[in-house]
A and B are shown apart, each in its own frame.
Chain A
Amino acid sequence: MLQGNGLKVLTVLVFLLMSGYYLYPTLSNFRYQNRLASLDGEEKAAYQRENFADIRWASENALKLGLDLRGGMLVVLEVRVDQLVRELATDRDDVFNEVMAQAQTEALSSTVPFVDAFAAAFAERDPDARLSRYFRNSDRGITRRSSNSEVVAYLRDEADAAVDRAIEIIRDRIDRFGVTEPSIQKQGTRRVIVELPGVDDPERVRKLLRGTARLEFRLMVDPRETAPYIQAVIDHYDEGIEETPDTNARVIGDDLAARVDTSSADTSSVDTTAADSAFDVTALLGGEDEADLPANKLLEVFRPYGQDVILGSAFSQDTARAMQLLTAREVAGLLPRDVEILWTANPINVTEDGQEEFFALGVRKTIELTGDVITEATADFDQIDSEPKVSIAMNSEGARTWSRITGANVGKKIAIVLDNVVYSYPNVNEKISGGRSEISGLDSFDEAKDIVTVLKSGALPAPVDIEAEQTVGPSLGEASIRAGTMSLIIGLALVVAFMIFYYQSAGIVADLALLLNIVFIFGILAGFQATLTLPGIAGIVLTIGMAVDANVLIFERVREEQGTGKTLKAAIAGGYANALSAILDANITTFLVAAILYSFGKGPIQGFAVTLMAGIISSLFTAIFVTRIVFDWMVGQRRMSVSYG
């Protein structure tokens, strides 16, 4: 029955099944989304809960739409390794600058590692010159005597590490920003492609991605100064006090302040006395029964501690409100002038129900030292007590400043602030004059490593530039999908009609092949997890027009063969055989061009190249195999008289 076409039929069925398999999630997803759109409220929530896993699986494995169809933001970031190398160098002269400029031109494409280009340019300029003239790092063993290859290896490590760290920072920032399905990928040696679907606020994202992390060392505030502030603020929000006439409140407030001042002269007992004072206040108010404490807006979100430098704590969702209340205009004046309240970077505690608690700390506004001065940071264990610590090294300017600061504040705490949150506030054990410092009092080695990461990512310079960006609003994305789909349908309809009109029954077979073609194209896209973009849809539309070509070549040939008097069966065989070389030649060149376009193109245009390639492969397949099978069956088995127009 199959007349030796058994293998062909099998192949077609296999590909059909594979396409079906790869496309199933897309169809599934389409079905679910439609269903969800038609339900609302309770029904929708219920449906979502029931089918949660399936919906999620379908949406994750469905054919990916490009940002130009989905709406969202694509940002191409470049880590300026060249700036990094420049910053690492000391004593830069004209030679250095020339080499740098040349390397920058050489390394324009992001696939060329800048360090390699720099080393090559340097060697070219003067084969005997030593890179160690410009680069020193005693912590890493790079001295005056280091060979060029050692320096290059060092630079390469620094560059790679800087790029990876930058990517981690970016990833972290995006996580905090809260985007569904972000994509962050390294491209070449120093580019990062960030895709943020559904993002509607490009301005904020740009700031977020571009901003450098600011590291600062600041002194902590003496608790004796902040305790009265906290009391006063609590008072302010005590609704009981607010309702009493002003004069009374002032008297009580002053009285309270006096009480607290005297009782907190001894810092070690600040906690108990402060607590006592608080209760005293309420007793003063006349609310003898503690259960009857009047509602306090601040205390609802903030729990005062009065312990050491900790002002109080709040849960993560309350921190914004608490900060708002603590720094409101009416109470801001109560806070000592040079003092700022900052939250800890990481939660101090996680409650049983998963709530995270953060400390609020009183920190001086004056920035004693910034991260610019740090040249190296490493995490290790203290030799004496085996506690984890972070060793940092500073440049000479930093060392002098550090010496002054530490000398003046032995026994006190210094806050390490990064982007306005406090990572740690360790004790200063002694004056440090070598520009080296230790951060001790850490919980674990992990914390030490984290601080090193923060120090390194905050301090070591590797600026990140936005090289290119594309933002598409969701409405435009939808409009593009509609336009693309309409073009596809109309184009398909017209071509189908034409084929029947011109080639009659053979045309019907060709149309069948064309429809199968489109299924295969989508199947290939899904199978290779390619992204469908608007130019990609254009590519599919183009393929519809071009796919016909192979069939046309065959049909024309069959007509010619018939013209020489052959039987239908023989004409078909002759047609396919003779047309094959022309079909292959023509399509191979277009395929090669599409492949070149794919490798050199960037962005949505690659989607065009992909669909073009997929289209060519599938149209070759359907034209040569599928139509042949059908014709052989029709003529051989059913003895139909197929008209070729």
Chain B
Amino acid sequence: MRIFENANFPFTSNWTKAFILSGALIVLSLFALLARGVTLGIDFLGGSEFVIETAAPLNVTQVRGQLDARLGLAPEVKLFGSPNTILVRTTVGGDINETERVIVETIAAGFPDANPTVVKTDSVGPRFADDLKRGAFLSIIFALAVIFIYIMLRFEWRFGVGAVVALAHDVTITLGLFALLHDLVPFSLQIDQAIIAAFLTIVGYSLNDTVVVFDRIREYAAVFKTEAYDVVVNKSINSTLSRTIVTSGTTLIVVFVLFVTGGEVLRGFAFALIVGILIGTYSSIFVAAPVVLRLRSSGRKQSR
């Protein structure tokens, strides 16, 4: 069984179309980020979350209204996986024992059949939230630095730039999608430690694809010395196409399984991975390679 064998798609000649598409996606993402912004989870903002199971399904708007009246902190209330489970999220403030008690009492009083039980609590104080923010920030910086250094060591600087541009492209669009879809999908798209982990994984994974293509470019450049560079790049992309599609395919399969059966806790995480893998694959072919090509060509033009 073979797909894309002896493929010869005109990737490099269509690079303008690809750049326009990517550009549009990035603009859209930036717009979404500015307009709606990303919502930080309690990991980085501080606050408390309670997952409450009830005997009968509740209307979240009603619950929100009642809790707001009692707590006064404008808590967020959403469904958590099933109609009988709700998630209540409050910002920093107050004693957690008190808050938990008030929430349970309010629900029990307002909805007599509810019989609420708290099955999960998650609380982060402001100092710890700052600590986690620092940790997330540092891990992103370090990861990018490590990646850049590694690429520079293994390949030449143009490849490094190509890789970083592709990564920035991936993260921006994924973040933009998060900002766009937040509150529009039934699962949580708040940025917490797990989502940062997903982003870093996407970064690492996207790099895999990119590196495979770069590796082939380097090999073919040595073999096909006489060919024009863009022909070399095109050949490289085509020859690795089969592998790229298959690998992304298998990874997508498992992450999709995770999304569907992994439980509500992992849903946002799995979603981030799905989006990241799709965009990462796209960027290795349509962003990283063309960037290298452009840098190479412009360099050559200048040196003439």
Could you tell me which A residues sit within 8 Å of B by CB distance? 68, 76, 78, 108-110, 202-203, 206-207, 465-473, 475-476, 479-480, 483-484, 486-487, 490-491, 494-495, 498-499, 501-504, 534-535, 538, 541-542, 544-546, 548-549, 552-553, 556, 559-560, 581-582, 585-590, 592-594, 596-597, 599-603, 605, 608-609, 612, 645
Q: Is B278 an interface residue (CB 8 A)?
A: no
The 9 closest A-B pairs by CB, nearest first: A545-B251, A483-B263, A593-B204, A545-B254, A590-B204, A600-B139, A586-B208, A473-B119, A491-B254
The answer to whether the Cβ of B302 comes within 8 Å of any Cβ in the partner chain is: no
Q: Are A546 and B205 in contact (CB under 8 A)?
A: yes
Q: Are B211 and A586 in contact (CB under 8 A)?
A: yes
Question: With the chains together, A472 CA to B96 CA distance in Å?
Answer: 15
Q: Is B215 an interface residue (CB 8 A)?
A: yes
Interface string of B218-259 (1 = CB under 8 A from A): 000000000000000000000110110011011111110110
Report whether A596 and B200 are in contact in the complex, using a CB–CB cutoff of 8 Å: yes
* Chain B residues with CB under 8 A of A470: 120-123
List the A side residues contacting B119 at CB < 8 Å.
Answer: 472-473, 475-476
Chain B interface, DSSP helix/strand/loop, else mixed:
helix
Q: Which residues of B contact A499 (CB under 8 A)?
A: 250
- Asked whether A494 lies within 8 Å of B204 as measured between CB atoms, the reply is no
Assess the B250–A545 pair: CB atoms within 8 A. yes
* B74 within 8 Å of A (CB atoms): no
Report chain A residues within 8 Å CB of B134.
108-109
- Cβ-based interface call for B70 (8 A): no
Q: Which residues on A sit within 8 Å (CB–CB) of B243?
A: 552-553, 556
Given contacts A470-B121, A534-B266, contact A585 B215 (CB under 8 A): yes
B194 touches A535 (CB 8 A): yes
B160-201 contacts to A, CB under 8 A, are: 193-194, 197, 200-201
Partner of A538, one of B96, B132, B252, B269: B269
Question: Is the CB–CB distance between B138 and A491 below 8 Å?
Answer: no
Report yes or no: B143 in contact with A487, Cβ–Cβ below 8 A: no
Task: Tell me whether A589 and B147 are in contact in the complex, defined as CB-CB below 8 angstroms, given that A476-B119, A597-B200, A612-B201 are known contacts.
Answer: yes
Chain B residues whose C-beta falls within 8 Å of the C-beta of A498 in the assembled complex: 249-250, 253
Contact A553:B139 (CB < 8 A) given known A468-B124, A487-B261, A601-B197: no
- Asked if B97 and A206 make an inter-chain contact with CB atoms under 8 angstroms apart, the answer reads yes
A589 touches B207 (CB 8 A): yes
Query: Which residues does chain B contribute within 8 Å of A546, judged by CB atoms?
Result: 205, 208, 247, 251
Q: Give the distance to chain A from B40, nearest Cβ to Cβ, in Å.
A: 15
Residues of A with C-beta under 8 A to B205: 546, 590
Does B263 contact A542, Cβ atoms closer than 8 Å?
A: no
User: Are A597 and B128 interface neighbours, CB within 8 A?
Assistant: no
Q: Is the interface of A mostly helix, strand, loop or mixed?
A: helix
- Report Cα–Cα, A490/B208, bound state, in Å: 25
CA of A486 to CA of B266, assembled, Å: 13
Complex Cα spacing A541 to B243, Å: 20
User: Is the CB–CB distance between A538 and B262 below 8 Å?
Assistant: yes
Q: Which of A538, A542, A548, A612 has the most chain B CB atoms inside 10 A of its CB?
A: A538
Residue B270, interface by CB 8 Å: yes
Contact of B208 among A68, A590, A594 (CB under 8 A): A590
Q: How many residues does chain B have at the interface if contact means C-beta atoms less than 8 Å apart?
A: 70
Check B128–A601 contact: CB distance below 8 A.
no
User: CB within 8 A of A203: which of B97, B139, B203?
Assistant: B97
Question: A599 to chain B: closest CB distance in Å?
Answer: 8
Do A535 and B139 touch (CB < 8 A)? Answer: no
B212 nearest in chain A by CB position: A582
A582 with B211, Cβ < 8 A, contacts A534-B263, A601-B197 known:
yes
Chain B proximity of A76: nearest CB distance (Å): 6
By a CB distance below 8 angstroms, the chain A residues around B121 are 202, 469-471
Q: How far is the CA of A82 from the CA of B242 in the complex (A)?
A: 60
* A577 smallest CB distance to B (angstroms): 12
Residue-wise, chain B 22-66 has the 8 Å CB interface mask toward A (1 for contact) of 000000000000000000000000000001000000000000000
Q: Which residues of B contact A590 (CB under 8 A)?
A: 201, 204-205, 207-208
* B200 proximity list for chain A (CB < 8 A): 593, 596-597
Docked complex Cα distance between A541 and B52 (Å): 28
Q: Is B76 an interface residue (CB 8 A)?
A: no
Q: How far is the CB of B238 from chain A (nearest CB, A)?
A: 12
Q: Check: B130 CB closer than 8 A to any chain A CB.
A: yes
Known: A473-B119, A494-B257, A504-B1. 17 other contacts (CB 8 A): A202-B100, A467-B124, A469-B122, A476-B51, A476-B119, A476-B120, A480-B265, A549-B251, A582-B215, A582-B216, A585-B215, A590-B201, A590-B205, A592-B147, A593-B203, A600-B136, A601-B193
Complex alpha-carbon distance, A133 and B150, angstroms = 53
Counted as pairs of residues, one from A and one from B, with CB atoms less than 8 Å apart, the total is 219
Question: Which residues of chain B come closer than 8 Å to A587, judged between CB atoms?
Answer: 208
Minimal beta-carbon separation of B13 from chain A (angstroms): 24
In the assembled complex, the CB of A479 is this many whole angstroms from the nearest CB of chain B, namely 7
Cα(A202)–Cα(B139), bound, Å: 32
Taking a contact as CB atoms under 8 Å apart, the answer to whether A541 and B263 are in contact is no
CA distance A594 to B254 in the complex (A): 19
Among residues of A, the one whose C-beta sits closest to the C-beta of B269 is A538
Contact B257 A596 (CB under 8 A): no
Contacts of A504 in B (CB 8 A): 1
Residue of A nearest to B126 (CB): A467
Whether B2 sits at the interface, judged by CB under 8 Å, is: yes
Q: Is the CB of A542 within 8 A of B253?
A: no
> Are B215 and A483 neighbours in the complex by a CB distance under 8 Å?
no
A592 to B146, CA, bound (A): 8
Smallest Cβ distance from A288 to chain B, in angstroms? 58
B273 within 8 A of A: yes
Within 8 Å CB of B269, what residues of A? 535, 538
* Contact, CB under 8 Å: B123 / A483: no
B17 at the interface (CB under 8 A from A): no
Interchain CB contact under 8 A, A594 and B258: no
* Distance of A479 Cα from B273 Cα, bound (Å): 22
Contacts of A487 in B (CB 8 A): 254, 257-258, 261-262
**Residue from B147, B194, B255 within 8 A of A542 (CB atoms):** B255
Is B154 located at the chain interface by the 8 A CB criterion? yes
B118 on interface, CB distance cutoff 8 Å = yes
- Binary CB contact string for chain B from 106 to 126 against chain A (1 if under 8 A, 0 otherwise): 000000000001111111110
Interface assignment of B142: CB less than 8 Å from any CB of chain A: yes
A-side contacts of B250, CB under 8 Å: 495, 498-499, 545, 548-549, 552
A residues near B239, Cβ cutoff 8 Å: 560
Which of B100, B201, B253, B262 sits near A593, CB closer than 8 Å?
A: B201
Interface assignment of B294: CB less than 8 Å from any CB of chain A:
no
Chain A residue numbers with a CB within 8 Å of B154 are: 585
Set of chain A residues within 8 Å of B105, measured between Cβ atoms: none
Q: Are A601 and B135 in contact (CB under 8 A)?
A: yes
Partner of B146 from A109, A593, A609 at Cβ < 8 Å: A593
State which of B118, B131, B139, B261 has its C-beta within 8 Å of the C-beta of A110. Answer: B131
**Closest A residue to B98 using CB positions:** A203
Distance (Å) between the CB of A9 and the closest chain B CB?
28
Least Cβ–Cβ distance between A53 and chain B, in angstroms: 35
In the assembled complex, the CB of A605 is this many whole angstroms from the nearest CB of chain B, namely 5
Q: Once the chains bind, are A552 and B247 in contact (CB under 8 Å)? A: yes
Contact B203 A581 (CB under 8 A): no
Of the residues B123, B128, B255, contact of A545 by C-beta under 8 Å: B255
B106: min CB distance to chain A, Å:
16
User: How far, in angstroms, from A468 to B44 measured CA to CA in the complex?
Assistant: 12
Bound CA span A534–B33, Å: 30
In the complex, chain A residues whose CB is within 8 Å of the CB of B255: 541-542, 545
Contact A542 B273 (CB under 8 A): yes
Q: What is the CA–CA distance of A295 and B301 in the complex, to the nearest angstrom?
A: 110
Distance of B8 from chain A, by nearest CB (Å) = 15
A534 to B249, CA, bound (A): 24
Known: A203-B100, A502-B246, A538-B269. A491 touches B257 (CB 8 A): yes
Q: How far is the CA of A102 from the CA of B160 in the complex (A)?
A: 40
Distance from A576 Cβ to chain B, minimum over Cβ atoms (Å): 15
Name B85's closest neighbour in chain A (CB-CB).
A476
Q: Which residues of chain B from 260 to 291 have a CB within 8 Å of any chain A CB? A: 261-263, 265-266, 269-270, 273
Across-interface contacts of A469 in B (CB, < 8 A): 96, 121-123
